[in-house]
Amino acid sequence: MTLKSLNIDKSWTLFLDRDGVINKKLDNDYVKHWMDFEFLDGVHDAMKILSGKFGHIVVVTNQQGIGKGLYRTEDLELIHKNMLYEIDYLGGRIDKVYFSPYLDELKHPTRKPGTGMGLAAKQDFPAIDFTKSIIVGDSITDMEFGRALGMKTVFITEEKRNDGKIDFNFPSLVEFALNL
């Protein structure tokens, strides 16, 4: 199976993880404020390409730093507002951002690998067909989220990883976009 063989068109939906896919992950810390947020190289170009290919693009991100009391929902919403503005300004598009503020140990259904954020997206955008959806993420929980909903999975990693949960490996979001 190749990406091109999927025949991706506007009937497809793209689910994106945030940290490590759109923006730089902070070592042993959380992106708590807009000044901590740094787009990864090539993301703006990737978003332009992806916006032309996919009917819906949504972000699904675990944000347990809120549950830990390290930042507030309002701080996260400001980060997302600025992120969406910049992506839109530079020719890309994200239709909606979903986040789960719950601690990992709570095993809340909205926290990946739980499927709650995907189901919320389907409720907001009824045209979403999970069999015509792709999740792009940098953790195995992202892949498990995608698998549980019947999506194709794209793992962002510098070194190719062989795992039954991963359909495709790419070093970055822009490399994925360029291979569609």
Q: The domain spanning residue 55 has which CATH number?
A: 3.40.50.1000
* pLDDT values of the chain reduced to their tens digit, one per residue, 180 residues: 899 999 999 999 999 999 999 999 999 999 999 999 999 999 999 999 999 999 999 999 999 999 999 999 999 999 999 999 999 999 999 999 999 999 999 999 999 999 999 999 999 999 999 999 999 999 999 999 999 999 999 999 988 888 999 999 999 999 999 999
pTM above 0.85, yes or no: yes
Cα–Cα distance measured from residue 11 to residue 92, given in angstroms and rounded to the nearest whole number: 18
Residue 143: the pLDDT is: 98
Q: Where are the beta strands (DSSP E) in the chain?
A: 13-16, 56-62, 96-100, 133-137, 152-156, 168-170
Based on the residue annotation, tell me whether 19 is a catalytic residue of this protein: yes
Residue 98: the pLDDT is: 98
Question: In 10 A of CB 83, how many CB atoms?
Answer: 21
Torsion of CA 27, 101, 150, 92, to 10 degrees: -70
Count the domains in the chain: 1
Residue 160: the pLDDT is: 87
Determine which one of 17, 75, 142, 167 is catalytic.
Answer: 17
Based on the residue annotation, tell me whether 17 is a catalytic residue of this protein: yes
Determine which one of 9, 19, 27, 104 is catalytic.
Answer: 19
Domain residues for the domain of 160 are 4-178
Peptide bond into 109 cis (omega under 30): no
Residue 1: the pLDDT is: 85
Residue 104: the pLDDT is: 96
